[in-house]
Structure 1
Amino acid sequence: MSTQDIARMDTGEIVSYEPVTPLELEFMIRELGERLERAVPVMKGLYKARYDAERALIEEKAKAVLRSGKASVTEKRAEADLETMTFRRDVDAAKETLHAAEELQKALAARLMGLQNINKVLGQAYGASPR
């Protein structure tokens, strides 16, 4: 993301934009702040999905080990790993989604901080009192 890129609030797509007035800058700060706030329940849901998928994998793997007719523990575990591969993929997909969302949150927070700093500088330049 360059200094001119920002995500459209309605679609999330990255567009090139540079505010030209303090009012536009303030609008962008408010929009990014609200977007970060709206993301909290979404992130909570992503964490829940990840932990639910992990619990399902653990449960199914334990059941597969108990069902196994193999003689050694190593063979039982290997058989259980193969039998629960679908659950492993579900865990990996949930983690991947969560990590992507966390990185987006970091990027938005950094962008917000940058815009806030620009806003302070503009305020000082125009002789406005700092917030």
Structure 2
Amino acid sequence: MSAQDIARMDTGEIVEYEPVTPMELEFMIRELGARLENAVPVLKELWAARYSAERALIEEKAKAVLRSDARTITEKRAEADLATMTFRRDFDAAKETLHAAEELQKALASRLMGLQNINKVLGHAYGASR
């Protein structure tokens, strides 16, 4: 069994795989735990990218408002919105990536909790049969 059996990293999809032995169950628990732990620095980087994109958008929008020759603030803001659309797209893409990573983390954590519960039940069942 490889890490690909648990989750496809290219799509984030969690693969439906049910362990059949206590050793496979233990492996999956360890693998998911490690994956959740290793994701912390990645999520930190995604948060940093999101805030960086937001700061760039705010800065460029403010500059566009200041450069605008429009007469009303509403017109200045609309002009600035159009002028900074690329920054808006970058910001939205950073947020989308971050949210997808967070949702994957939640799914993996739920899966880990379920496997831990199964492991607990199996432990009791093996203990009861001895």
The reply to whether TM is greater than 0.5 is: yes
Amino acid at match of 1:32: L
- CA deviations 1:60-114 (Å, max 9, x no partner) are 0000000001111111101000000000000100010011001000000000000
CA distance in 2, matches of 1:49, 1:108: 23
Partner of 1:121: 121
Highest relative contact order (Cα 8 Å, sep 6+), 1 or 2? Answer: 2
Identity, in percent, stands at 85
CA distance in 2, matches of 1:12, 1:93: 16
Amino acid at match of 1:114: G
Q: Does 1:36 find its partner at 2:36?
A: yes
CA distance in 1, matches of 2:76, 2:17: 58
TM (norm. structure 1) is: 0.88
CA distance in 1, matches of 2:54, 2:68: 21
Partner of 2:6: 6
CA shift at 1:47, angstroms?
0.3
CA distance in 1, matches of 2:82, 2:15: 44
CA distance in 2, matches of 1:101, 1:19: 25
Correspondences of 1:90-105 after superposition (within 5 Å): 90-105=90-105
- CA deviations 1:11-36 (Å, max 9, x no partner) are 96644422111111011000000000
Partner of 1:79: 79
Listed as ranges, the gaps of 5+ residues in structure 2 are: none
Partner SS, residue 126 of structure 1? helix
Q: Following TM superposition, where does structure 1 have runs of at least 4 consecutive aligned residues deviating by more than 6 angstroms? A: none
- CA deviations 1:34-66 (Å, max 9, x no partner) are 000000000000000000000000000000000
TM (norm. structure 2) is: 0.88
CA distance in 1, matches of 2:8, 2:31: 10
For the aligned residue pairs, the C-alpha RMSD in angstroms reads 2.1
